[in-house]
């Protein structure tokens, strides 16, 4: 069975995967780029809200080390990413953002990967919600920060 390709909406902004020659996710992990953090223990993977959320609470989980794809992850890094994704999913439920959760990881250009630092999407789902993998516009930072705080509080 052949699956249809992931389609991009015309309204989606294509954001740079690098800023000043640096991977944007590496810059976020290092604190050199703005983000709305959800979880960062200083050792393992980092969770922060997606700038173009498909749904409220759309969180990205990235390994601290720059790894372009799944094949480059150590088993420990992969397990830590999955565990943080699981915790964020549970937090989204406790924060009232979800009754269910989708996890999505695009591995490679053909799969729709746009930033060459492996990342897991945690997508909270509510009854009747429609999931579009592409957002129409970037969210405003204050709104992202409020949602990130809800998720941080629910992770505690």
What residues are labeled active site? 119
- DSSP, residue by residue, the chain: -PPPPPPPPTT-----SEETTEEHHHHHHTTSS---EEEE-SSS-EEEE-SS-SSTT-EEEE-SS--SSGGGS-HHHHHHHHHHHHHHHHHHHHTTS-SEEEEE---SGGGT--SSS--EEEEEE-TT----SS-SSPPPHHHHHHHHHHHHHHH-
């Amino acid at each position: 069975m052949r699956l249809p390709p992931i389609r991009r909406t015309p309204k989606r902004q294509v954001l740079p995967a690098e800023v000043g020659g640096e991977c944007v996710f590496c810059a976020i992990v290092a604190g050199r780029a703005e983000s709305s953090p959800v979880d960062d223990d200083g050792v393992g993977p980092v969770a922060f809200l997606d700038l173009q959320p498909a749904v409220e609470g759309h969180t990205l989980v990235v390994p601290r080390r720059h790894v372009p794809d799944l094949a480059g992850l150590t088993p420990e890094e992969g397990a830590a990413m999955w565990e943080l994704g699981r915790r964020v999913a549970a937090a989204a439920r406790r924060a009232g953002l979800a009754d269910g959760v989708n996890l999505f990881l695009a591995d490679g250009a053909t799969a729709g990967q746009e930033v060459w630092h492996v990342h897991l999407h945690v997508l909270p789902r509510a009854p009747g919600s429609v999931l579009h993998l592409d957002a129409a516009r970037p969210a405003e930072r204050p709104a992202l920060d409020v949602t990130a705080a809800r998720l941080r509080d629910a992770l505690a």
